[in-house]
Chains A and B, each alone.
Chain A
Amino acid sequence: MNREQIFSYLEERFGLDKGLFKDYEFLEGAKGRVFMATKDVSNVSKAVKAVIVGLLFCRVNGSVKLSGNITQLFGNNATKSVVNISELEARKFIGGEDLDVPDTGTTDGYVIVKYKNYPLGIGLLKESAIKNMIPKAKRTNLVA
């Protein structure tokens, strides 16, 4: 999948306009990973021995999985495939649990899981359930 195909998918699935990403460079990493960085970072990374360049943008593996951190950064711009959840569900989701969501009105596939104004992350919607994809190190038991 090339860059244009990734952007069209994001546009189609989430209504994320590719203009959001126009000032950045996208670099290919191992195992279908694509990284997003400023143009300056991309240029400088060629002159040094870089171990990480920018931020993981997505993973391409048949489908496109937007990274959780990019979802948090740009998720509020999405207009489609957004599942709004309650406070109780948000607690569960942030704690690492899967969610049962009877009618989201969204077709199966990746969805942006959102609570109030917080785009919490990406989840995989399948048969009325959202599979949790928050990495263990980031899961949190909310207090208050």
Chain B
Amino acid sequence: MSKAVIPKRFLERYSSIVDDQKEFLEYLEKPLPKAFRVNTIKSDKKQVLESLSEKGIVVEKVPWYEDAFVVGGGTSGHPIGNTIEHFMGYIYIQELVSMLPGVLASGELTNKGLVIDVAAAPGSKTTHLAALMGNKGCIIANDISYERIKALKFNIEKLGVLNAVVTNQDFRFFKLDNHKADFILLDSPCTSEGTVRKEWDVLSEWSERRIIGMCRLQKQLITKGFDMLKRGGSMVYSTCTFAPEENEEVVQYLLDNREGAKVEKIDLKGLKTCPGVEKWGKAEFSGEVKKVCRIWPHHNNTGGFFLAKVRKGVE
């Protein structure tokens, strides 16, 4: 299969905000390390690691998250999906950056609160949140796509999640009273530029028009999500894309339109992150928006990612 070419406009766009264009490009073309998360709902981490090691599989720790591991050594080609640990749902194969929303959420979650996962399918993050809540409380796991909900259902079942109710709605029109949720994850639909290392095809569909369209949807989703938060509650907004229109601009939009919204600083020890961009085209973002977090593929050998943590003021 021949690879799509990286669109020229794509490179032009990001040359002003990426620190090392050459490295960036190099990493875009490299395959991703194979990572997994231990599913603490069903398994004991120590036993899982012992059992994998008995099979000769070498796993490496990840400095910023204790339940994340990378298949390494000379065994990175091992089909870890064909182990008994995987069959049992003791491990879940998941790209490292996809675990970050859970890591940011962990301090916010309790075993009784209400969590809403706005765009949940296929459930990598729902199942992660469920584990972090000790399989207690309630997660509303929503997705607009019925097709994708099938995969969400499969993963919820396989990982043993007892604290989720699945809904199938366009979240912009989700029917539930405002001010109910303790925590909201908006792992937003996006143009997925940061996933090229997994799926080169995202580039063949790439266009600035798609970015603009996504940006409009994301602004609606983030305000709706924010309105559903309790006072004092928090929301993580994440995307796997580089475009500032889908990232900083969306966060700025929320700040401009909802008085109680505050951006919180993100502190991820052991991971190289960059602050939000300050300017993009004609847009200038406020100092608050700089507190968001960008993850470039070449900094930690991961996919690309964007994270923002927002809190709803108490008064």
Taking beta carbons and an 8 Å cutoff, which residues of A are in contact with B? 24, 36-38, 40-41, 43-45, 47-56, 69, 72-73, 90, 94, 115, 117-118, 120, 137-138, 140-144
- Say whether B87 contacts A55, CB under 8 Å: no
B contacts, CB < 8 Å to A: 41-42, 47, 55-57, 78-79, 81-84, 86-89, 112, 114, 135-140, 149, 153-154, 156-158, 160-169, 175-176
Known: A41-B162, A48-B140. A142 touches B83 (CB 8 A): yes
Evaluate contact between B83 and A144: CB separation under 8 angstroms: yes
Once the chains are docked, how many angstroms separate the CA of A56 from the CA of B168?
18
B160 touches A72 (CB 8 A): yes
In the complex, the answer to whether A144 meets B112 with C-beta atoms within 8 Å is no
Give which listed residue, A43, A51, A73, A140, contacts B149 with CB less than 8 A: A51
Chain B residue nearest to A73 (CB atoms) is B160
Give, as a whole number of angstroms, the nearest-CB distance from A85 to chain B.
Answer: 12
Chain B residues with CB under 8 A of A41:
138-139, 162-165
Residue of B whose beta carbon sits closest to that of A68: B157
Q: What are the residues of chain A within 8 A of B175 when measuring CB–CB?
A: 48-49
Q: Could you say which residues of chain B place their CB within 8 Å of the CB of A45?
A: 165
Q: Which residues of B contact A51 (CB under 8 A)?
A: 149, 166-168
Residue of A nearest to B167 (CB): A48
Once A143-B79, A143-B83 are accepted as A-B contacts, the answer to whether A137 and B165 lie under 8 Å apart by CB is: no
Chain B residues near A37 (CB-CB < 8 A): 162-163, 165
Beta-carbon contact of B86 and A140 below 8 Å:
yes
Minimal Cβ-Cβ distance residue in B for A38: B163
Q: In whole Å, how far is B42's beta carbon from the nearest beta carbon of chain A?
A: 6
Can you report 13 residue pairs joining A to B where beta carbons are below 8 Å apart? A38-B138, A51-B166, A52-B164, A54-B164, A55-B157, A115-B84, A118-B84, A118-B88, A120-B87, A138-B87, A141-B82, A142-B83, A142-B87
Give the distance to chain B from A1, nearest Cβ to Cβ, in Å. Answer: 22
Chain A residue at smallest Cβ distance from B143: A51
Residues of A within 8 A of B154 (CB): 137
Q: A40–B112 contact, CB under 8 A? A: yes
Measured CB to CB, the closest approach of chain B to A27, in angstroms, equals 10
Given contacts A40-B114, A44-B140, contact A55 B156 (CB under 8 A): yes
